[in-house]
Amino acid sequence: MKTLEAIIHFFQKLSESAEQAVVPSGHNPKLKWLINDSRECSEKSVFVAQQGLHHHGLDFLTQVLESGCRVIISDRPVKMHEQALLDQILDNASPVQLIVIDNLNQILPKFCHWFYDFPTQKLKVIGITGTNGKTSTAFYCAQLLEAKGDKVAVIGTLGNGSIHQLKATQNTTPDIIRLTTLLAGFVEANYEWVVMEVSSHAIALGRITGFEFYTAAITQIGSDHLDFHQTQIDYEQTKLRLFTDYSAKHHVFNLSDKTVLKFVEDQNQSVFKKLRSEKILGYCLPDDCYTDNNCEKLLPDSISLLQAKAAEFYSDGLGFKLLNNESISPEHQKTECHYQSALLGRFNIENLMCAISVVNTCGVDLKTLQADVAKLSAVPGRMQIVHHHPTVIIDFAHTADALQNLLEAVKVHLNPEEQQHSLGLVFGCGGDRDRQKRPEMAKVAQEYADRIMVTSDNPRKESPQKIIDEILQGFSENTVVMVEADRMAAIEQMLAQAASEDLIVVAGKGHEDYQEIQGVKYPFSDHAVIEQYFERRQING
């Protein structure tokens, strides 16, 4: 907890506008939480009021005061009607303290870390970035760390907290206030590790400013969020800032990704000396691996290499060999491990390689990880099988790269001797998001799927038909495409046409349990729709 007096002194050191703030005589409360949502305020909280996209925090001043909150930090002075609300609080035992900080946005990260006694120094925080694979890799890392008996929390798309009891979140990486508040809660709950997905928005908007990472890792870089970043180059450079702008004890790079490999080659030795990493691991995948001689020429001496080779795919899983160079072996010798997993898809080898590399930097031997990898469970909504005969898979893939990876992964598991078996795909695109990917996803669909159904995803405030029309522009004239804007009807229509040995992929929403239409989130689950369809069909014979 921090006292009001300590908070005022903190700001007075960093901002001239805080010099007028004084502690009322006999009133120096201890405060426990930083809050920027008026609905979550209490007597023990400090309310941080800033300008948002549509509203300022002070627009909700009435609700804040009604909660009992009496300490408010704002990036602007109050207006006349807001001052009138403050004047109504006449409780001398608990007066309202308003602290106005002109440069609050710049100071806020330092304040958050200080207020919570620097939680990233008390936790081992693993930061994972990348266009695709962040969620799966984080989920696998958490399971592998738990296998060695440690208490692990995750922060990401699926939610926050233990992977066994996640709490829903609005953003992949929350804002700096929510993020440091979460971490403080994890410290209080005696967590040892936090595996955090780091989005490009989080890096660009300063949500992880001041963070100290145990390990920073990157899965790969594709194309996404160009509505926010405007250019592909800006998007790529933002992702890579995790490795140039933030402190980490260890670093993990996917050298099968051309952008990441070029970054590693261009940086040469200088950046890695600057990073002062204890261990830098690069990993690469089957068919993308370099010979040992090439590795020695291309990579800085400080980077150790993990290579996946001899990938095998079965109807119920996959396997691969992992080779490591001598620098990361305890015996300083090259070793070979064989990994088996019940996960599906070639891209899961990439995710597994990243997770194995990360957990190896956390002190777990590669051979020890063999048994733990075999026990990993799939991420909800990520290449998740929800029905057999036909095999129906749901997945969160909602970019062209992710959809291509997904469909390539599915193709590998189809029996090549059964040519009549087909791959069906149901997908759409979200509204109020990057429009450039809509026709690109269509091109991927027509290349890999035998039967295609275009439908709605989360249209948000856009017209579902308009989104569908933009998707359809990406198909060639001779491509047969089914269209049904109603997502439930679209899924059921595809399932009704499927033969017993076909494989159906429903992409875009994965674990989500809602569909957002015109700003309203309606209950909707791809998983539930599929299950209920087959239950009805079984009852009806």
159: left (phi over 0), alpha (psi -120 to 50) or beta: left
Least Cα distance to 169 among 177, 180, 158, 179 occurs for: 158
Q: At 492, phi and psi to the nearest 5?
A: -65, -35
Residue 181: HSE in the Cβ half-sphere, 13 Å Cα cutoff: 19
Q: What is the mean pLDDT of the chain?
A: 88
pLDDT value at 384 more than 80: yes
* pLDDT band at residue 154 under the 50/70/90 scheme: very high
Query: Which residue carries 């899965």 as its tokens?
Result: 219
Q: Which residue has the higher pLDDT, 205 or 485?
A: 485
pLDDT value at 403 more than 70: yes
In this prediction, residue 290 carries a pLDDT of 44
Give the Å distances, CA to CA, from 47 to 16, 36, 69, 85, 210: 20, 6, 7, 15, 21
Mean pLDDT value across residues 447-476? 96
End-to-end CA distance of the chain: 63
pLDDT value at 292 more than 70: no
pLDDT value at 7 more than 60: yes
Q: Which residue has the higher pLDDT, 353 or 234?
A: 353
> What is the rounded CA–CA span in Å between residue 489 and residue 189?
45
In this prediction, residue 244 carries a pLDDT of 86
Bridging pattern class, strands 520-523 and 482-483: unpaired
- Report whether 429 contacts 438 (CB < 8 A): yes
pLDDT value at 401 more than 60: yes
- What are 372's two structure tokens? 């733990």
Helix (H) or strand (E) holding 491: helix 487-496
In this prediction, residue 225 carries a pLDDT of 54
> What is the rounded CA–CA span in Å between residue 388 and residue 487?
21
> What is the rounded CA–CA span in Å between residue 98 and residue 47?
10
Domain 384-540 has CATH 3.90.190.20: yes
Q: Which residue has the higher pLDDT, 292 or 317?
A: 317
Mean pLDDT value across residues 379-392? 88
Least Cα distance to 198 among 221, 232, 231 occurs for: 221
pLDDT value at 18 more than 80: no
* pLDDT band at residue 268 under the 50/70/90 scheme: low
Written as one string, the DSSP assignment of 401-417 is: HHHHHHHHHHHHHS-TT
Q: Which residue has the higher pLDDT, 277 or 507?
A: 507
Mean pLDDT value across residues 348-375? 94
* pLDDT band at residue 295 under the 50/70/90 scheme: very low
In this prediction, residue 13 carries a pLDDT of 87
Encode pLDDT of 417-437 as tens digits: 666 678 999 999 999 988 999
Domain 2-106 has CATH 3.30.420.10: no
Q: Which residue has the higher pLDDT, 99 or 19?
A: 99
Give the Å distances, CA to CA, from 102 to 3, 205, 472: 22, 18, 49
pLDDT value at 132 more than 60: yes
Three-state DSSP class for residue 240: helix
Encode pLDDT of 160-203 as tens digits: 999 999 998 877 888 999 999 999 999 999 999 999 999 888 89
Encode pLDDT of 209-233 as tens digits: 989 999 999 998 876 655 666 788 8
Query: Which residue carries 């989104």 as its tokens?
Result: 467
In this prediction, residue 149 carries a pLDDT of 94
- Report whether 208 contacts 173 (CB < 8 A): yes
Mean pLDDT value across residues 111-139? 94
pLDDT value at 62 more than 60: yes
Q: Give the residue extent of every domain in the chain.
A: 2-106, 116-374, 384-540
Mean pLDDT value across residues 384-397? 90
User: For 116-374, which CATH superfamily applies?
Assistant: Mur-like, catalytic domain (3.40.1190.10)
Q: At 76, phi and psi to the nearest 5?
A: -150, 160
* Least confident among 147-156, 302-311, 502-511: 302-311
> What is the rounded CA–CA span in Å between residue 101 and residue 214?
32
